[in-house]
Structure formats: C-alpha cells, structure tokens
Amino acid sequence: MIWINLGHRSYLATAVNLATDKDADKASLWIERSNGSGIKVLSGTWEEVEEHKQAIDFAVSKGYKTYDIN
C-alpha cells in the first residue's frame, strides 16, 4: 500500500492500474482504495500516465510510503 498525494487530497492505494481512454493515445491512472472502490486520479497521454505508474511501482518496491503527483 502507498499513499498517493494529489494536491490537497490523499488516497491510500492497494493497487494501481492503467486504462486506455477512448482516444488511443490517452490513458488514465486508476487506484484501488483499501475499501475496494476504484478512483481515477490522473488522465493524460499514455507516456505521462505510464511514467507515473512505473514510478509508483518503483516506490512501492523500495518501501516508500507516499507518492506525490504534481
């Protein structure tokens, strides 16, 4: 689990996933929260969103407790 900080909001994420939007070069970053609900926290180009996904996965693997999306 990792806390995702997005501006003034924070979400405890148990899973992080990518979803392709209707526009093929766009994507969304979704998190699954500890209560089982999902929420979209970021939209953008596939490259931008995938970069955040990889960074979150890296942070989790290294034991970090938070990740800031600016």
Check residue 30 and give its pLDDT: 95
What is the β-pairing status of strands 2-6 and 66-69? Answer: parallel
Check residue 23 and give its pLDDT: 72
Check residue 64 and give its pLDDT: 96
CB atoms within 10 A of CB 53: 17
Q: Of 43, 42, 38, give the one whose Cα is nearest residue 23.
A: 43
Which pLDDT tens digit goes with each residue over 21-64? Answer: 777 789 999 999 989 999 999 999 999 999 999 999 999 999 99
- pTM comes to 0.88
Check residue 57 and give its pLDDT: 96
